[in-house]
Chains A and B, each alone.
Chain A
Amino acid sequence: RKEVEQDPGPFNVPEGATVAFNCTYSNSASQSFFWYRQDCRKEPKLLMSVYSSGNEDGRFTAQLNRASQYISLLIRDSKLSDSATYLCVVNMGAGSYQLTFGKGTKLSVIP
């Protein structure tokens, strides 16, 4: 089983739509969780950290379910500029700074 799994997509949605991405991780000892955004041929950029209580940043909402080892990202009112690949990223913790990346889910927002 892969350490971090995501639906690769692509997700093609119209502007204004709400889209949800899911991610599962295999290591129950994982301690930190993130969503990164990567544009084509660019480096990943932090979109938001994911907390157990769930957190929201504008149109973006992230949730974590530790029992199910599941992370989600919800984007409301999609914009054309949201088109990118969204990476689910996990840090195993226990003194390690290493990040494990999912393959990413590609989103295309269509006019």
Chain B
Amino acid sequence: GAVVSQHPSWVICKSGTSVKIECRSLDFQATTMFWYRQFPKQSLMLMATSNEGSKATYEQGVEKDKFLINHASLTLSTLTVTSAHPEDSSFYICSASDRVGYTFGSGTRLTVV
């Protein structure tokens, strides 16, 4: 089946630094990828929709200058959390639509200290 590879699985960073999360579709081309964030005991919340070759579409309340999304190829989308703060600590998950449905990456657990 379709596989979406997400790296890193977890990261701990200092407040004020930037963290890049990569999401790759391994055996299919993903024109559109989605980035979600999930806080403890909460549902997945869509942050942005990433379209290959164009600017991402951000959900209301998500700062586009803080969460930089790049989707330069049909198999790779990246999310960079800039100037991270402790409140950005969360579980970030990417997803892509394939022929069957939606495939999720394994998620990145970000802890900002």
Contact = CB atoms under 8 A, between A and B. Distances in A.
B102 A46 contact: yes
Interface in A24-61: 34, 41-46, 49
| Dominant secondary structure at the B interface | strand
Contacts of B44: 44, 87, 101
A68 interface: no
Nearest to A3: B43
Interface residues on A, range: 10 to 19
Contacts of A45: 104
A99 interface: yes
Given A41-B91, A42-B107, A43-B107, A101 B43 contact: yes
Interface of B: 6, 32, 34, 36, 41-46, 49, 91, 93, 95, 97, 101-102, 104-107, 109
